[in-house]
Structure 1
Amino acid sequence: MQSFAFEPGCRLLIREDLLAPFRRYRLLSEVTIDGVAHAQLLPMQGAARIGEATGAVIAHRVTAELVAGLSTGLVEFDDERDDDTPEELERRRKHRDRLLSDKPDRHQLYIRFWRAILRDVDRRLPPGLKTARVVVDGVRTKRLVLQDVLTELGEKYGLMYFGKTRSVSVSQYYRVLAKRREGDDRDMEPNTSARGNRNQLLPEVKRVLRDTVAEKLEAARHAPRKGDKPATSVKDIAATVYDRLEELKAQRPELADKIKLPSKTTFYDTVGQAPARLRVLAVRKSVATARDFRRPWGHEEPDFALSQVQYDETLLPLYCYCDVLKIPLGRPWLAWLVDVYSNAIIGFYLGFEPPGDAVFASVFRHAAMPKSYVSGAYPDIAQPYPMSGIPRFVTFDNSLSAHGNSIERLLGDLDVPWDFTLARMPWLKGAVENSFHLLNLGLLSELPGFVLPQDVDRSDYDPKENGLIGFLHLLWIVHRYLLEVYHPNPPTIGGPSPNVRWQEGTRIVKPRYPRTGQDLDFLFGIVREGVTLDHRGVLYEGIRYYSEGVDGIRYWNGANVKVSLKVNPVNLSRIQARYGDGAWVTCHALNKTEAQVSLHVHKLRQRHSERLFGKADWESRIKAEVHLRGLMRGAVLEDHGTRVSGLLARALGIGTHVVFGQLGLGRQLPYLQDFSSAQPDAAMRQLTPPPDRTPSGVRAPPSTPALPPGPTEPTPTPPTGTKPVTATPTVARFGTGSLPRRVR
């Protein structure tokens, strides 16, 4: 997927409101007027779908408002170029709609292979050195320095992506580089139509020995270990070389007399020429080898912000309750991305979803988009949240989600390289580990509801005897801690604050953003094949979808066709559909009131409706939802453990994956207020953002009917503008007296 930056020369599409047409501008420069940064914009002649230009008068806009407009739908990056022909523009839009993950697997490997080579060549060889020649004994040879680098990278990335070394020539490099400069990097897919079978020359004995040693040492890095037994040995290498030489004799009988097994000394000498770390890894385990060869952090510090970020998640030692329904929810998860250059938190997740694709998608979307919601949702927080942009390298821990296909597809579509650390090696991602340590020491240990995990078992925490903290209150505290404590203050070891480092790290290399704020919604989507599209629309999990885009699919391909669907599991209000290998088009739910939930909550309603009424139509699901909310409100009188409370939190859809996923296009973050005098249905509407207007400008149908009244327990007073971060919020206690323990 393409990414853009607010830098001189970029083209922008700007409109005054959501119903006005876009106008095309070019960003000339950035100037300061009365101490405020302004962007100079030059109107350009627009196409038919864009509003006409107002003239060649330079316009000025506040830079902060321009960046914030990207998340509200008022600003988009223009993907057209000055010298574009209609054919080139149509081809680029077609490539933009078809992501890398939609291509065949062999084409994806080829593109990733060349991406890595182009990236490493630019890093190793500055301009002017690519044409330099190798000097041997003071004499310039005909061999280029570039060829030596390409040979090394072909072996490295060939083994990584294809399982064998690949030869890369200078002419191949310049052909692929020209394709990337002329279009998009997705044009680098290979043309295999003219290829044929070619005879391969057999290697000599020395080549067989060298290749066998390299393969055995590389295989030892990933081979399962049994106790302290080595993964390979010289005897094992000699046996493999002997078998390959026998095959070579049979294939080359004219060389049978000259093909002999090398001596024992030759084997040890060849193995000794391999890197010491690979040789030790073949004998010892990976964790012990990594510990022996670790180095002090700081040798590869990034030069700019977003050049390297680290991701991790943790289960907070806090127990929360729902601010609206007044029921205990259990311990929330906190996950965030830390910029290594500035040590700033560029995006986070707080909720009750266990670590997985939904959590990382929420963190990545929150990190990539501007945080313009803070000033409106939390007016008492004076500091801004300037950290935003697409990372250029991501480091994960060794979790199952880091090895999943979803992260590979998302970061591959964004052209963001990533890596993951090995198990039991926290020093490899020290920035994010240190940020969690500071959070525990400076904030969490002083809050009500803080209990060390070893003190209270997950199934024995009693909310009637122990303090809890409201989830929305905790969300406000996390925002205020980051913006008024962590980011503006320098670290204890000295040096500038994260805010200052972020300004320095983005002065030269500007953050890059997706073309629109909604481009990230479906990168983690669930793909379903063979869904019927007819006059009723497309049906997914009992919800009907339709739009002008899918109407065009029916117009060109038939009244009843099979399409593919891509669903965002966080929000079912809209999905994407495509026919064959065509572009993805967005279609909206016909009943938006029912679709403004996550996939997990919707399936829970369906199962509960079938259990109660034997069917799952619209009316039955509404009744089931009302019944579920009543059960949840009544759960305050039950003696639930934290595991059951966590399941209730997931059923309610409580978490920033839902809240942040609905930001943009006028949506606001739910704010805190005193619910003690409000009705339960009004409080629930306060927690859920109002639905957006439909594409035609008509407001969507009203939300879910009023819920049955809940318990009359008091709700803690929300934070005010003068309340400090370290102040102790009101603690809620549930139940009175000593209720009998529920039989498990």
Structure 2
Amino acid sequence: MVLDDRTGLPLGRPFVTGCIDDYSRCILGLFISFEPPSYLTVARCLRDAFLPKTWLQERYPRVSHCWEAHGVMRELVVDNGAEFHSDSLEAACWSLGIEIHYAPRKTGWFKAKIERFLGSMNRGIAHGTPGTTFSNIFEKDEYDPSKHAVVRLSVLQEMMRIWVVDYYHQKPHRTLGVPPASMWASCIRPEDILVPDDPARLDAILGRADGRVLSHRGIELDGLFYNSPELTGLRMRYGDRLDVEIRIDDSNIGEIIVLAPDKTRMFEVRCLSFEYADGLSRWQHQVCKRFAAHHIGASNPMSWLEAKEMIARIIDEEFAHKRRKSAKRLARYQSVEIAQLPKAPPSSTKQETEAFPRAEAPEQPPFPASEPKDPAEETSPPELPLKAKKRFAPVIRDRSPAMSEEFADDKQSRPAQGD
């Protein structure tokens, strides 16, 4: 259980999505929020895993070590949760050259590494902090986690990063015999880590895929219209009514990404009702539409904007009266998210514990590691000279049978995460 920084109201139990490197046991990415398990939470976790975490110590000065583990993996093993069975996830992995493997049902050993990490993190952070929701119901007795919750959102955010970077990555692993950070440093060279060359294009690839018709009015999505001069140019070139593929960030429907028919260009297109839609999630939009229909008796962007303002006032009143019952839904509506990944400039480089991806790696590193040392002495990874990352340009492409041979060739010639 966590507290809202502004009101002190208990918000509930957040959802966690994590990605672990199979060979080194390093954590590649984390995403924590009140958003229920969905493709959005999976995509945010993968984005955190792909890109360098250069922002970490600027945001959390008390983090002592660097979080070196990142990059696009060769294979991704996921659970059978509904959030992992989506065309958007398969299309994103296909464009990035990642092969997805689904763990069979009722085979916990396929996910043992991530399960163990989550258990260790839960014991190391949650169960040592007032406000924990005990995994064993018999331990609760008269303990009310809502009454005893003392961890604020900002504090939990910092605790999670410090625990992963300064404790888990630096502590000798029982199986490896060395800390995960040392194993990572010894088995992969920084210049061999695959990193997407353009974070903006990565956002397009990880966005939820959908198909729409482009007409003179633009593109309609959930009752909202999107249009721009660039889309007018597409209609003049390809026809008055055009079937296009779009990519949607469900956490912000103020803009969508429209792909040209040849998939070589993409356009960021604003909503025509930008004042209403900017920063609004798709779930918040659905709430506003229902509220407007029931309480205003209208269904148009102006009524949705009025509903949005009314809901904001209601939420302030709910928090003012400290009503715990609806706090978690209010936190989700306010988009209270922990470990929200910052947007990187183009020029720069929840759920149940079984539903977490992990990156697979080969059994042996490609070159010998350093001489083994006493695990007690392995407290930090060896310093390596800074070298340029191996950047590549992901290609937005369809998962057609004709592409399978090309994908197989790409996968064979590509170094794997952890090599």
TM-score (norm 2): 0.72
Q: Map 1:35-74 to 2 at 5 A.
A: none
Asked if structure 2 preserves the Cα contact closer than 8 Å seen for 1:334 and 1:350, the reply is: yes
1:427 aligns with 2:112: no
* 8 Å Cα contact 2:273/2:301 also seen in 1: no
> Equivalent residue for 2:203?
521
Partner of 2:313: 630
Q: 1:603 to 1:354 in 2, by over 3 A?
A: same
RMSD value over aligned CA atoms? Answer: 3.1
Shift of 1:345: 0.7
Asked whether the equivalents of residues 565 and 576 of structure 1 are also in contact (C-alpha less than 8 Å), the reply is yes
The C-alpha deviation readout for 1:140-162, integer Å capped at 9, x for no partner, is xxxxxxxxxxxxxxxxxxxxxxx
1:481-496 to 2 correspondences below 5 Å: 481-492=163-174, 495-496=177-178
Q: How do 1:195-206 and structure 2 match up within 5 A?
A: none
Match of 2:294 among 595, 601, 611: 611
- Structure 1 residues 533, 334: closer, same or farther in 2, change over 3 A? same
Amino acid at match of 1:587: E
> Deviations for 1:23-54, whole angstroms, at most 9, x for unmatched residues?
xxxxxxxxxxxxxxxxxxxxxxxxxxxxxxxx
Q: Is contact 1:383-1:483 (8 Å) kept?
A: yes
Q: Residues 456, 573 of structure 1: CA spacing in aligned structure 2 closer, same or farther, 3 A cutoff?
A: farther
Q: Tell me how far apart the structure 1 counterparts of residues 206 and 48 of structure 2 sit (CA, whole Å).
A: 14
Once the 2 structures are TM-superposed, how far is the Cα of residue 527 of structure 1 from its aligned partner?
4.1
Tell me which amino acid in the other structure corresponds to 1:585: M
Percent identity of equivalent pairs: 22
Match of 2:125 in 1: 443
2:356 equivalent to 1:665: no
- Closer/same/farther in 2, CA of residues 363 and 649 from structure 1, 3 Å limit: same
SS of 1:522's equivalent in the other structure is: helix
User: In 2, are the aligned partners of 1:562 and 1:579 still within 8 Å (CA)?
Assistant: no
Whole-Å Cα distance in 1 between the matches of residues 274 and 143 of structure 2?
38
2:214 is the alignment partner of 1:553:
no
Secondary structure class of the residue paired with 2:202: coil
What amino acid does structure 1 have at the position aligned with 2:53? Answer: K
Does residue 355 in structure 1 map to residue 355 in structure 2?
Answer: no
Paired with 2:62 and 2:296, the residues of 1 have a C-alpha distance of: 47
Q: Distance in 1 between matches of 2:21 and 2:255?
A: 32
C-alpha offsets along residues 551-591 of structure 1, whole Å, 9 cap, x if unaligned? Answer: 32033135565544332223223212246555452132155
The partner residue of 1:540 within 212, 215, 221 is: 221
Partner of 2:65: 383
Unaligned runs of 5+ in 1: 1-318, 667-744
Displacement, 1:354?
A: 2.1
- The 3 A distance-change label for structure 1 pair 577 and 588 is closer
Q: Highest relative contact order (Cα 8 Å, sep 6+), 1 or 2?
A: 2
CA 542–325 in structure 1, closer or farther in 2 if over 3 Å, else same: farther
Deviating beyond 6 angstroms after TM superposition, the runs of 4 or more aligned structure 1 residues are none
Deviations 1:218-276 (A, max 9, x none): xxxxxxxxxxxxxxxxxxxxxxxxxxxxxxxxxxxxxxxxxxxxxxxxxxxxxxxxxxx
1:120-269 matches, within 5 Å, as none
Gaps of 5+ in 2: 347-419
**Which letter does structure 1 place at the counterpart of 2:249?**
N
Q: How does 1:635-646 map to 2 (within 5 A)?
A: 635-636=318-319, 637=321, 640-641=324-325, 644-646=326-328
- Work out which of the residue numbers 487, 492, 507 in structure 1 matches 2:189: 507
* CA distance 1:508–1:529, change in 2 (3 Å): closer
Q: 1:563 to 1:438 in 2, by over 3 A?
A: closer
In structure 2, what is the equivalent of residue 327 of structure 1? 9
Answer yes or no: is 1:577 the counterpart of 2:262: no
Pairwise CA distance, 1:542: 4.2
Specify whether residues 559 and 608 from structure 1 end up closer, same or farther in structure 2 by C-alpha distance, changes over 3 A only: same
2:83 aligned with 1:401 = yes
In terms of Rg, which structure is larger? 1
Spell out the pairing of 1:273-288 with structure 2 (5 A cutoff).
none
Distance 2:245 2:102 in 1: 32
Conserved? CA contact 2:227–2:269, under 8 Å: yes
Tell me the CA shift for residue 424 of structure 1: 2.9
Determine the structure 1 residue equivalent to 2:247.
566
State the Cα distance separating 1:411 from its structure 2 match: 1.7
